[in-house]
Amino acid sequence: MALSDTTEIHQFPCLDDNYGVLLHDTESGTTIAIDVPHAGAYEQALQDTGWTLTHILITHHHWDHVQGLGELKKKTGATVIGPERSRQKIAGMDRTVEDGDDVLCGPYEVKAIATPGHTLDQISWHIPSIGVAHTGDTLFSLGCGRVFEGDKEMMWSSLSKLLRLLPDETVIYAGHEYTEANARFSLTIEPDNPALQARAREVADLRAAGKPTLPTTMAAEKAANPFLRAGEPSVAKALGMEGKSATEIFTEIRTRKDNA
């Protein structure tokens, strides 16, 4: 992993299938939480690690990402940064960001990448200096978020943006442990993709052992995730959609997943 020598990351399950993530710099003591599905789970994680929370980054307004925010902020006094688009929806934000904004959290320069589609406010957070990103409910391992507020074209444009902006070695955290079901679906799209077959086996082994399948990497997702591969000729061929645009192919894949 491309983590710097002083960064430690703690990921832990919250609610049914959400993840909490704490990112900590051992030198400065900076500790960043990404989303707060459950305040108690975060308090426990902070106790387990001995870290003191300094910042909370929010990816989007959905309940299962912010419902613990008020309580955790009250208990820790951490600075809360989230999407400007949800200024009215998310209580307790100290600072808001729009696409392309940079925020400093201790030694970390964190980039806000607007990736609307699942929701209109969705922000993916990227820390280039340590090669880590959190893609919220936009990009999952072997999947992408359901399109609730935007449209499928918007979601494809957001995923394309991540393809452009996140280097292959970027370590990807995301909001949910959906990978096993995503793997089953992905194999219906590209059954002959060896990278997908290998990842599906790995995921089955990890889940059987009770282990998380996240984080993943951009390289792994580019090789196996059909939602990111909508522009690949092999996917067009597998779907019998040669000559169609990546947007059309993404729309077909997302529609099939919605109906699966």
Q: Which residues bind Zn ion (CB under 5 A)?
A: 62, 137
- Kindly state the smallest distance separating residue 89's Cβ from Zn ion, in Å: 13
- Kindly state the smallest distance separating residue 104's Cβ from Zn ion, in Å: 27
- Is residue 61 within 8 A of residue 91, CB to CB? The reply is no
Alpha-carbon distance 8 to 10, whole Å? 7
- Kindly state the smallest distance separating residue 116's Cβ from Zn ion, in Å: 12
Alpha-carbon distance 134 to 82, whole Å? 13
> In the complex with Zn ion, which residue's Cβ is closer, 38 or 62?
62
> In the complex with Zn ion, which residue's Cβ is closer, 7 or 119?
119
- Kindly state the smallest distance separating residue 234's Cβ from Zn ion, in Å: 30
Long-range contacts from 100-105, C-beta under 8 angstroms, 24+ separation: 105/30, 105/32, 105/54, 105/55, 105/57, 105/79, 105/81
> In the complex with Zn ion, which residue's Cβ is closer, 24 or 62?
62
> In the complex with Zn ion, which residue's Cβ is closer, 25 or 137?
137
Quote the tokens at residue 100. 């392309």
- Kindly state the smallest distance separating residue 154's Cβ from Zn ion, in Å: 15
- Kindly state the smallest distance separating residue 208's Cβ from Zn ion, in Å: 27
Alpha-carbon distance 246 to 16, whole Å? 33
Alpha-carbon distance 258 to 245, whole Å? 20
> In the complex with Zn ion, which residue's Cβ is closer, 123 or 236?
123
Please provide the DSSP assignment of 232-256 as one string: -HHHHHHTT-TT--HHHHHHHHHHH
> In the complex with Zn ion, which residue's Cβ is closer, 62 or 134?
62
